[in-house]
Chains A and B, each alone.
Chain A
Amino acid sequence: MLTTKEIMDTLKMLDEQKLDVRTITMGISLLDCAHSDIKIMCDNIYDKITNYAKNLVKVGEDIEEEYGIKVVNKRIAVTPIALVAAACKADDFTPLAMALDKAAKEVGVNFIGGFSALVQKGYTNADRSLINSIPQALSETELVCSSVNVASTRAGINMDAVKHLGGIIKDLAAKTADKDAIGCAKFVAFSNAVEDNPFMAGAFHGVGEPECTINVGVSGPGVVKSALEKIKGMPFDEVANTIKKTSFKITRMGQLVAVEASKRLNVPFGIVDLSLAPTPEVGDSVAHIFEEMGLESAGAHGTTAALAMLNDAVKKGGIMASSHVGGLSGAFIPVSEDAGMIDAVLRGSLTFDKLEAMTSVCSVGLDMIAIPGDTPKETISAIIADEAAIGMINAKTTAVRIIPVPGKKEGDNVEFGGLLGHAPILGVNKFSSKDFIDRGGRIPAPIHSFKN
């Protein structure tokens, strides 16, 4: 039998250190729902999702009860809607978002992702319609999440799309101004988006994916921090090893849950995404890991190195523990969803520019950052361009989920509630990027040799 210590260590991880399964996400292909009549397409989509995902929430809850592991979210990711909707002539895709929302509510999931378009090299007519529909679609729905991939290492950056999205994000903020621009928390712009990401707002079911699949996202920044507390002052070799071991344990749990969920739902297991995803709760912060490593506050010089090591060690430990690792896998650094990040911003140690530097080594990008409501749309586009460039050149996923909160200025506070947390408004560079963004066109794909 297991020793009492092993059992107690596991219980401590689940209780005090907030280890949980962050999400069980069912990916569903909607390609066969396409129809020239948008009303029929909406019905097809609703019927297919409510049929495939009818047991998803129950299975998540059963696993939670039997294994004593919290399964925080049950979610659905669907084929990028621009691909499905290309079959119809409508230019407003809001009804499709509403069909997704209705289906998600019917099956009881927390979010549904995939109101998306992949435009790294250019637009189809449907891509344009979808992007233009985002402000309306996300303000009229509650559970729908949207993403647009604007760049990739192979295609370069679509600067027309980058320019377009600056305006879209501003419109979305204006349309949800009464709720502090919450609509923008449900939208993300990507570079090198992945097809099997179970996390929101960027989850979608890529075209290379099967008919239906189960992807699981685990979390556990509190477990990593707690493991590091036991090796205070030790050299980084020891720190990296400790993170690897911890990540291995966390991922083993994720793999167990993923395989069990896939068996019970009779849907193939896709991947385990071994991300460290913080929440605003005490003991669930990535920023506190940096501080445990010896930085006075997240954002201090050394934070990028700390994050690089953390991200790499999490992957190394996790990859051994799962048969298939995928998604984003690494450390997330959202601001509003991480109590330590919020404190670091408030005490002036974490700035926008430092966050941007950190995204060159983290698993995703600028995430859940509230900025002043009067930020020009070209500045938002330029932020996306910078982030897309980091992703493109480093052959990694980067993303921008940014919230220009109407009526708020630098230093104000904004409250989103729940897992989205609250955030101080971060200042952005005041100088104009307008003429740069107005050029449009495409930034060519980078060379893959001569890397210096």
Chain B
Amino acid sequence: MKAIITVIGNDKVGIIAGVSGLMARYNANILDINQTVFGTNFIMAMYVDLTDIIVSYKELKDKLDELGKNMDLNVRIQREEIFNAMNRI
């Protein structure tokens, strides 16, 4: 299963490190990252392959939620199909 992780919030040190650290810990493979900063707003989209993760999807989602709370960022993970369905024919 492939998914897209998005992070939106105030730019600060360690956002990508935090998310990619989690991915490494749970054996999720990062396929691509896009990030932009508009003023103080940070937007990141990370494309990940979850085929070999060592926890359940739900646990991974909970960990990302926790990271978001700790860093005061909006972090979420969604299966890629939703984005493909709405943006690609």
Q: Residue-by-residue, is A66-83 near B (CB-CB < 8 Å gives 1, otherwise 0)?
A: 111100000000000000
Q: Decide if A47 is an interface residue (CB 8 Å cutoff).
A: no
Total interface residues in chain B, CB < 8 Å? 27
Complexed CA–CA distance, A179 and B79 (Å): 42
With a CB–CB cut-off of 8 A, which chain B residues contact A9? 87
With a CB–CB cut-off of 8 A, which chain B residues contact A11? 6, 8
Set B79, B83, B87: member contacting A66, Cβ < 8 A: B79
Contact call A69/B82, Cβ cutoff below 8 A: yes
With a CB–CB cut-off of 8 A, which chain B residues contact A1? 31-32, 34, 45, 47
For residue A137, give the distance in angstroms from its CB to the closest CB of chain B: 40
Q: Residue-by-residue, is B28-67 near A (CB-CB < 8 Å gives 1, otherwise 0)?
A: 0001101110000001010100000000011001000000
Q: Decide if A4 is an interface residue (CB 8 Å cutoff).
A: yes
Contact call B78/A2, Cβ cutoff below 8 A: no
With a CB–CB cut-off of 8 A, which chain A residues contact B85? 252-253, 255-256
Closest to A6 in B: B87
Complexed CA–CA distance, A353 and B52 (Å): 61
Contact call B87/A10, Cβ cutoff below 8 A: yes
Total interface residues in chain A, CB < 8 Å? 21
Contact call A4/B43, Cβ cutoff below 8 A: yes
Q: For chains A and B in complex, what number of residue pairs have CB atoms within 8 angstroms? A: 61
Contact call B58/A256, Cβ cutoff below 8 A: no
Q: Could you say which of B61, B76, B78, B85 has the most chain A C-beta atoms within 10 Å of its C-beta?
A: B85
Answer whether A7 and B45 are a contact pair too, CB < 8 Å, given A249-B86, A256-B82.
Answer: yes
Complexed CA–CA distance, A255 and B46 (Å): 25
Contact call A68/B82, Cβ cutoff below 8 A: yes
Set A3, A4, A65, A252: member contacting B86, Cβ < 8 A: A252
For residue A219, give the distance in angstroms from its CB to the closest CB of chain B: 15
Q: Could you say which of A9, A65, A66 has the most chain B C-beta atoms within 10 Å of its C-beta?
A: A66
Complexed CA–CA distance, A8 and B74 (Å): 13
For residue B45, give the distance in angstroms from its CB to the closest CB of chain A: 5
With a CB–CB cut-off of 8 A, which chain A residues contact B72? none
For residue A433, give the distance in angstroms from its CB to the closest CB of chain B: 48
With a CB–CB cut-off of 8 A, which chain A residues contact B78? 66-68
Set A4, A6, A68: member contacting B36, Cβ < 8 A: A4
Set A8, A65, A256: member contacting B81, Cβ < 8 A: A256
Answer whether A6 and B83 are a contact pair too, CB < 8 Å, given A1-B47, A11-B6, A65-B58.
Answer: yes
Contact call A67/B4, Cβ cutoff below 8 A: no
Contact call B32/A7, Cβ cutoff below 8 A: no
With a CB–CB cut-off of 8 A, which chain B residues contact A253? 82, 85-86
Complexed CA–CA distance, A256 and B86 (Å): 9
Contact call A10/B83, Cβ cutoff below 8 A: yes
For residue A250, give the distance in angstroms from its CB to the closest CB of chain B: 8
With a CB–CB cut-off of 8 A, which chain A residues contact B31? 1
Answer whether A2 and B43 are a contact pair too, CB < 8 Å, given A68-B76, A256-B82.
Answer: no
With a CB–CB cut-off of 8 A, which chain B residues contact A67? 78-79, 81-82
Set A4, A7, A65, A255: member contacting B61, Cβ < 8 A: A65
Q: Residue-by-residue, is A235-261 near B (CB-CB < 8 Å gives 1, otherwise 0)?
A: 000000000000001001101100000
With a CB–CB cut-off of 8 A, which chain A residues contact B8? 11
Complexed CA–CA distance, A67 and B88 (Å): 16
With a CB–CB cut-off of 8 A, which chain A residues contact B34? 1, 3-4
Contact call A2/B79, Cβ cutoff below 8 A: no
Q: Decide if B70 is an interface residue (CB 8 Å cutoff).
A: no
Q: Could you say which of B6, B31, B78 has the most chain A C-beta atoms within 10 Å of its C-beta?
A: B78
With a CB–CB cut-off of 8 A, which chain B residues contact A252? 85-86
Contact call B58/A7, Cβ cutoff below 8 A: no
Set B4, B77, B81: member contacting A7, Cβ < 8 A: B4
11 CB contacts below 8 A, A to B, read: A1-B32, A2-B83, A2-B88, A6-B87, A7-B6, A8-B45, A11-B6, A11-B8, A66-B78, A66-B79, A256-B81
| Other 8 A-B pairs with CB < 8 A, given A10-B87, A253-B82, A256-B82 | A4-B34, A4-B36, A4-B45, A7-B83, A65-B58, A67-B78, A68-B76, A256-B85
Query: Which residues of B are interface residues toward A (Cβ below 8 A)?
Result: 4, 6, 8, 31-32, 34-36, 43, 45, 47, 57-58, 61, 76-88
- List of 3 A-B pairs having minimum Cβ-Cβ separation, nearest first: A68-B78, A6-B87, A252-B85
